[in-house]
Amino acid sequence: MKEIESNKEAWSKISEDHFSAFKSAFENGTHKLNGYIQAELGDITGKEIVHLQCNTGADTIALARMGASQVTGIDLVPENIFYAKKLAADIQVHNVDFIESNVMTLSQSHDRKYDIVFTSEGVLGWLPDLNIWANTIRTLLKDNGFLYVFDSHPFFLSLDESKLSNEQYEIKYPYFGKEPDMEDSIGGYASECKHGVKAYFWMHTISDIINALSLAGLHIEFLNEFTENFYDSGEMDRDGDSGLYNYQYNANKYPMSFSLKATIYNK
């Protein structure tokens, strides 16, 4: 698919910068999963985890350090896999491994099963088809396993983020849009933004997400919505050391992120 190939090329441009940023964060002790994820994921001691869309492996390594027995990171981009392996080797974390794969075709080549499928912070919009995603998750899970997702809320993704700090709400990306948005830049959260790429991003509504998982035979244990964002989308305040950001005016107005836990549905 041309959009996926284009996204692969785009993400490869910032692999090395992400590696450097995450390596520094580990060295100065600041890299960790955000506060909501830590609270909701619970005790992962001894668990086998697959981390979808792992980028250069920083959160894969964080999960491994939190007590998981083995964490497998999966990402589309060969450069990300190269740097994820290097990051783990450099900071001497050994209970991780990394596989280059498109999530959309992963189930054709990978038949291991896990206690937890984990995916977070900037993931679903890069995938064109959530039904394939959900079916893949179903095949990756052991019978008593669960899926945990933390991502941008689609309501927030529909807004023009450059106007939010002025408390202006303008729909820029149609909530029910089916065609991907194309941007000519990538990154900007753990690296400088790089231009001259074509990055395709799909909108998935809350019902798209729930229905895809439900159709694949998963039961939603919870879906939580949060006013905080996991990156600074423009003049946001840091929320303590939780790894999250907020607008002071947005104590209760609109959601910026959501989390979800799902298990296998047993009739």
Q: Quote the least distance from Cβ 75 to ligand SAM, whole Å.
A: 5
* Least distance from ligand SAM to the Cβ atom of residue 196, Å: 17
Q: Are 259 and 149 in contact (CB under 8 A)?
A: yes
**Alpha-helical segments (H) within 122-186:** 130-140, 154-158
Collapsing DSSP to helix, strand or coil, 215 comes out as helix
Tell me the closest approach of the beta carbon of residue 143 to ligand SAM, in angstroms.
25
Q: Which one among 77, 130, 186, 209 touches ligand SAM, defined by CB under 6 A?
A: 77
Q: Pick from 34, 70, 72, 102 the residue near ligand SAM by CB under 6 A.
A: 102
Burial of 97 (0-12, 13-18, 19+ CB in 10 A): middle
Binding mask 7-46 for ligand SAM (x = CB under 6 A): x---x-----------------------------------
DSSP 40: H
Which residue lies nearer to ligand SAM by CB, 24 or 168? 24
Q: Which residue is nearest to ligand SAM (CB)?
A: 122
Return the amino acid letter for 49.
Answer: I
Residues 116-155: x where in contact with ligand SAM by CB under 6 A, - otherwise, as a string = ----xxxx--xx----------------------------
- Residue 96 sits in the site that holds ligand SAM (CB under 6 A): no
Are 68 and 47 spatial neighbours (Cβ–Cβ below 8 Å)?
A: yes
Q: Helix, strand or coil for residue 23? A: helix
104 is a contact residue toward ligand SAM (CB under 6 A) = yes
In what side-by-side order are the strands of the sheet with 114-120?
Answer: 96-100, 70-75, 48-52, 114-120, 141-152, 257-264, 218-226
Binding residue for ligand SAM, selected from 34, 50, 75, 218, defined by CB under 6 A:
75
List all residues 6 or more positions away from 52 whose beta carbon is below 8 Å from its beta carbon.
Answer: 74, 103, 106, 117, 118, 119, 123, 137
Stretch that binds ligand SAM, among 55-63, 83-91, 200-208, 221-229 (CB under 6 A): 55-63
Shortest Cβ 254–ligand SAM spacing (Å): 21
Binding residues for ligand SAM, rule: CB under 6 A, are 4, 7, 11, 53-55, 58-59, 75-77, 80, 102-104, 120-123, 126-127
